Structure 1
């Protein structure tokens, strides 16, 4: 059985991929969460705070990851 990481535990994924199933916009935060084996909500909150506090720099980072990972 192939045990791919899930947000509730398990080993992190070995390769980064956009999460098309649990992704909200582009699947970037879901993909990062699966890669590191953490809850996607935490990653989304980090990106939200970074977008507000970083004057939009996290939005550019998100878009870059989205375009490069397609």
Structure 2
């Protein structure tokens, strides 16, 4: 919800945003919070959404 990383992934793959967020939280907790680093990297790497 901060940078839109989960919503961007959900939109790209056509998945439900809630499912992506739940999977992200579970993956972050199960991997000793390394998901936070992945989130920050994706925040920097992913292009900004441009409305047409």
TM-score interval, normalised by the smaller of the two chains = 0.7 to 0.9
Where do 4+ consecutive residues of structure 1 move more than 4 Å?
none
TM-score for the superposition, normalised by structure 2: 0.82
Q: Which runs of 5+ in 2 are unaligned?
A: 48-52
TM-score for the superposition, normalised by structure 1: 0.63
Look at both structures and tell me which one has the larger radius of gyration over its CA atoms. Answer: 1
| More contact order relative to length (CA 8 Å, sep ≥ 6) | 2
Q: Which has the higher helix share?
A: 2
Count of aligned pairs between the two proteins: 47
| Root-mean-square deviation (Å) | 1.0
Q: Which runs of 5+ in 1 are unaligned?
A: 1-23
